[in-house]
Amino acid sequence: MTSTIAKDLRTHLRNSIEMSKESQKQVATKLGISSSYLSKFLNGKDVSFWIVHKIINYFDKENEIELILNYFKEGISSKNVPAALEYCYSKQLYDYTSVIAREYKSKRNPKSQELCTLYSLMIESRFTFERNAFIDNLRFFKTTFLETEIMVKVLQVYYYYLNGLYDLTIYNIEQINDLLFQVSDPFLKMAYSARLDEIQVNIYLKQKTELIQSRKIANRILDRNFSIAHDITAYHILGLSYFLESYEQSIAYYLKCIDLYSKFPDRQAEIIENKEEIAFLQKYWNKRINVEFAVSDFTMLLKHDGDLSEFYQDDRYNKYALLFDGIKELSSEKLLLSHHYFSKSKDYFRASFPKNELNRIGFRYTL
């Protein structure tokens, strides 16, 4: 996007409408807004952020973040501060979130002040959501407004999830969903729902092993298309969910996940992890492990049928080392150990991998 377009958002969007050969009324109808609101925004008037977000996504999704940040630089009205904070934070634009929180905390608007204080706390604590000190800070945080109450509860959900308290996590998500009916801002409702789905989609697959529900949530995430980060989660979960069921579907989703990760130079560790999972998938389905997926010492051994015993004590790879040796040796002992290590980490979906193999070799034991 050129700097001229970046500086003149409304001209850029008016040109986009002209190039689309649609009338403003037709565009407004497709977006589900009134043509007067669209006209009001294009002529420089202040409108709710959710309308701006919809218009930009319709015409220029690729440059969404840059366009919206330039829109924020024009100034943020008090009614749009909650959405601006959540937008920047959810897009991992932490520096921008901090700038907004500092600037609008000083404004004489109680809701803005309360939310700015909370988002400042989130920025300062984002690597410590699982710690007791963080949850203690939340307990002392006084909320007056619905948006703040919801965000505090969302942060509590992160704490419960990161500490493996999955039933409590789901219970609190249900409480938040009840509150979401009271949220009038469409963007905030979508953003809060996206946060909850990102957690739920993991729990329903890995801990509850409810494949249909996890896939339903994953596809809801993709339909929403709220952010690349959420789409990555959805593709990963879909890839994993088909691990035992369909090699073709599983690898297709994993490859989509890796493709999205490749847009971020700082996410090489996650790319490697997903390539490893493809190597595990290929080994499980008796496929040749492609060289591009043999990205670690362990996966290189898998590719060349090497000795995996050196990884039996490795916290990261012991589950898979025992799984694949158990399959090769028809060893119920090793498969049981693999099941134990997966279950110990509360990954009950992956624990079904050795369980299936135990059933295959006729081992009758209630797991």
Domain ranges, ordered by start, for the chain: 1-75, 79-213, 307-367
pLDDT in tens, the chain (367 residues): 444 444 578 888 888 888 888 888 898 898 888 888 888 888 888 899 999 999 999 889 889 999 999 999 889 999 999 999 999 999 989 999 999 999 999 888 999 999 999 999 999 999 999 999 999 999 999 999 999 999 999 999 999 999 999 999 999 999 999 999 999 999 999 999 999 999 999 999 999 999 999 999 999 999 999 989 999 999 999 999 999 999 999 999 999 999 999 988 888 999 999 999 999 999 999 999 999 999 999 999 999 999 999 999 999 999 999 999 999 999 999 999 999 999 999 999 999 999 999 999 988 766 5
Cα pseudo-dihedral 229, 231, 234, 237, rounded to 10: -60
pLDDT of 367 reads 56
The C-alpha R_g of the chain, in whole angstroms, comes to 24
Distant-in-sequence contacts of 256-260, Cβ < 8 A, 24+ apart: 257/232, 260/228, 260/231, 260/232, 260/235
* Residue (of 216, 196, 221) closest to 205 by Cα position: 216
**Residue given tokens 């389905």 in the structure block:** 285
How far apart CA 294 and CA 127 sit, in angstroms, is 31
Three-state SS sequence of the chain: CCHHHHHCHHHHHHHHHHHHCCCHHHHHHHHCCCHHHHHHHHCCCCCCHHHHHHHHHHHHHHHHHHHHHHHHHCCCCHHHHHHHHHHHHHCCCHHHHHHHHHHHHCCCCHHHHHHHHHHHHHHHHCCCCCCHHHHHHHHCCCCCCHHHHHHHHHHHHHHHHHCCCHHHHHHHHHHHHHHHCCCCCHHHHHHHHHHHHHHHHHHHHHHCCCHHHHHHHHHHHHHHCCCHHHHHHHHHHHHHHCCCCCHHHHHHHHHHHHHHHCCCCCCHHHHHHHHHHHHHHHHHCCCCCCHHHCCCHHHHHHHCCCCCHHHCCCCCCHHHHHHHHHHHHCCHHHHHHHHHHHHHCCCHHHHHHHHHHHHHCCCCCCC
How many residues appear in the chain?
367
| pTM (two decimals) | 0.89
Q: Which CATH number is associated with domain 1-75?
A: 1.10.260
pLDDT of 1 reads 40
